[in-house]
């Protein structure tokens, strides 16, 4: 089911990009977010890590020319580092309160942050969540209502 979610996410993301001119935070992001729609705290954690990554990218861009591949690589690198921190250090002590604010995946926060920087925070989050819901809906229809992921 993971492969179907990511594949549908790629298709929906491409359709949104072509029809609306808006990216869903990266081509694979809607599929991964769709798998975690029943874990809203992890989605919030991913968005927090993405916003933190965006902030660091904006600060770095004040001191250096940051565009294209450099920006993408730094966004993914900082997203990876902050995501790792969210899983292992920062939010680990909050697990007893069932807050589970860990980020999803390793490159997802960086991809989201890169698109937030390019097209804006609200637009990226809106398109990403709409695309993820559409992916999850299609998966629910295809599977007859039994959508389960081993996440």
DSSP 96: G
Domain ranges of the chain: 2-143
**Can you give the pLDDT at residue 132?**
94
pLDDT by residue (tens digit) across 16-59?
A: 999 988 888 888 999 999 999 988 888 998 999 999 999 999 99
pTM attached to this predicted model:
0.86
Is the distance from CB of 92 to CB of 29 less than 8 angstroms?
A: no
What is the band of 10 on the pLDDT scale with cuts at 50, 70, 90?
A: very high
């Amino acid at each position: 089911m993971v492969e179907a979610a990511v594949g549908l996410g790629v298709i929906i993301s491409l359709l949104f990009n072509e029809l609306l001119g808006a990216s869903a935070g990266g081509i694979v992001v809607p599929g991964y977010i769709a798998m975690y729609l029943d874990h809203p705290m992890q989605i919030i954690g991913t968005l927090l890590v993405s916003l933190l990554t965006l902030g660091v990218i904006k600060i770095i861009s004040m001191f250096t020319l940051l565009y294209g591949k450099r920006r993408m690589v730094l966004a993914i690198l900082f997203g990876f580092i902050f995501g790792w921190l969210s899983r292992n250090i920062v939010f680990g002590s909050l697990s007893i309160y069932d807050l589970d604010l860990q980020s999803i995946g390793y490159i997802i926060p960086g991809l989201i942050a890169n698109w937030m920087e390019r097209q804006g925070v609200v637009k990226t989050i809106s398109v990403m969540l709409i695309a993820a819901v559409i992916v999850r809906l299609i998966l629910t229809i295809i599977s007859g209502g039994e959508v389960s992921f081993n996440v």
